Amino acid sequence: MTTSANKANFGWCLYDWANSAFATVVLAAVLPVYFVSLVPEQGAALPIFPGHRFSASSIWGYSVSLSMLIIAVAAPAIGALADRKGWHKGMLCGFCLLGCSATALLSFTASGDYLWAAALFILGNIGFASGNILYNAYLPILVPQDEVDRLSARGFAYGYIGGGVLLALVFLLVLRHQFFGFSGAGNATRFGFFLTGIWWLLFSLPTFRYLPATDKRRLSGDPFSLKNYFALFKELLRYRDLCLFLLAFLCYNDGIQTVISVSAIFAREELQLGQETIIGCFLMIQFMAMPGALLFGRLAQWFGTSRAILLSLLIFTLVCVFAYRMTGSLEFWLLGAVIAIILGGSQALSRSLYASMVPKHKSAEFFGFFTISSRFASLFGPLLFALIADLTGSSRNSILALGSFFIVGGLLLLLVNVERGRNLVKE
C-alpha cells in the first residue's frame, strides 16, 4: 500500500476519533443527564400541547426522533449530490462545521432552556449523521472488498478510543470541577460541550487534508430533483439482498441506537444513579468496545459476517430482558460491560457488510440509503420508547419492548444471501 493510501486510511479513521466525541458526550452520556436538569421536575408544557406536561425522557426521545426524521428525508439528496458533483470532502467539511458549532453552543444553555438545548441537539445530530453519509461513502473507495471489514473495524476502534478519551476529560472536569475553577458541576458540564465541539473540529483537520478528492459522475438529465429522488429508490430494488439487509439493519439498529441514546436517562430516572456513575460506566463501555470491535472482526473471518452479527443480536435481546429487571448500579455496570463487547462489532460489521454489496461508482448515494435505514431506525426506537414511557409512566416497559427490534432484525438478516449480493455488483 502506498504512502498516500496509508495517509488516506489514517485520515478516514481519524474522523471517527473526532466525531465520536459527539456520540459519547452529547448523544449518549452527558447531554441526556444534563437535559434532565433543564426540565422542571413536574414536567414541561410544550407550546403545541399546552394541556399536557412532558417528562424529560419523552422530550428527549421526541427530539432524537425529529432529528432522525430530518436526516432520513435528506439522506438520498445528500448522497446523490456528493456523487454527481464529487463534493464528498467539501460536504463532509460543511456538516462537520454545523455539528461542531451546535455542540459548542450548548455551553450557553441554562436551567429552563430545554427547548434551546433540544434545538441545538437536533442541529448537531444533523451535522453528525449527515457527515457520516459522506464519511461512510469513502469506505469502498479507499480499499478493495477483502479489506473492507478490517478498515471498518479499525475506524470504529479509533472512534471508541477517541470518544472515550474526550468523555474521560469531560468526566474529570465534572467530577473535580472545583479543582478546575468551576463554581459547580453544571458550569463544568457546559464547558465540556464547548470542548467537545473544539475536539471534533481539530481532529477532523487531518481528515480533510489526507482524504482524496472525488470525481463527479457524469449523468444525463437535470440536477437532482424529486423525480430522480424516487428513481434512486427504484434502482435500489435491483439489489435484492442489499434491500433485505437494509430492512434487517433498520430493525436491529433501531434497538441498538435507542439503547445508546436512552440508557443514560433510564439510569438517571429509573435507577436514580448519579452523573458520575453514569459517565463512568460509559467510559468503561468506550474502552471495552474497541477490543470488542476487533474481536467481532475476527469472528467474522472465522464464521462469516452475518453469523457474527446474528450472535450480537441474540445477546442484545437478552440485554433488554436483563435491563427490564435490574435495580442497582452493579447490574448497570455489568450490563454496560456486555454491551461494550457487542456494540462495536455489530456496528462495524454492519457497515462493512453493506459496503461489500454497494456499487463503488454510487457509494455516496447508496450510503444515503444506509443512513435512511439507520436514521429511521433511530426515529422509531426513541419514539416507541417515549410513547411507552409517556403512557405507562415507566421506562422499564420501553426497554423491554426494544427486544422485538433485535428479534425481527435477526430474522430478516437470515434471508440475506451475501455472496449473491456481492456478485451482483461485480457484474
DSSP string, 380-398: HHHHHHHHHHHHHS-HHHH
The H-assigned helical ranges of 211-304 are: 226-236, 240-269, 275-303
Rounded mean pLDDT, 41-61:
75
Alpha-carbon radius of gyration of the chain: 21
Candidate ranges 91-95, 286-290, 390-394; pick with highest mean pLDDT: 91-95
pTM of the full predicted structure? 0.75
Residues in the chain: 427
> Which domain range does residue 31 map to?
3-43+51-210+229-426
- Indicate the number of domains in the chain: 1
Note the pLDDT tens digit of each residue in 132-147. Answer: 989 988 888 888 877 8
Q: Which residues are registered as beta bridge partners of 53? A: 45
Structural domain includes residue 369: yes
Question: Residue 220 falls within a domain, yes or no?
Answer: no
- Domain assignment present for 382: yes
Q: Of 262, 268, 274, nearest to 175 (Cα)?
A: 274
Of 30-44, 184-198, 286-300, which has the strongest mean pLDDT? 184-198
CB 65 within 8 A of CB 257: no
Residue 222 lies in a domain: no
Q: Is 205 exposed, middle or buried (0-12, 13-18, 19+ CB in 10 A)?
A: middle
Q: What pLDDT, on a 0 to 100 scale, did the predictor assign at position 117? A: 94
Is 131 inside any structural domain?
A: yes
Give the integer Cα–Cα distance in Å for 384 and 381.
Answer: 5
Instruction: Please report, as a single letter, which amino acid is at residue 399.
Output: I
Within a domain: 221: no
- Residue 423 above 80 pLDDT? yes
- Nearest-CA neighbor of 313 among 212, 412, 233, 168? 412
Q: What is the pLDDT of residue 111?
A: 85
Mean pLDDT of 298-303: 84
Q: Where is average pLDDT lowest: 92-96, 232-236, 263-267, 319-323?
A: 232-236
**What CATH number should be reported for the domain holding residue 356?**
1.20.1250.20
pLDDT score, position 188: 95
The answer to whether residue 285 sits within a structural domain is yes
| Cα dihedral 162, 168, 174, 179 sign | negative
Q: By the 8 A CB rule, do 99 and 56 touch?
A: no
Q: Grid coordinates representing 172?
A: 474529570
Let me know if residue 216 belongs to a domain. no
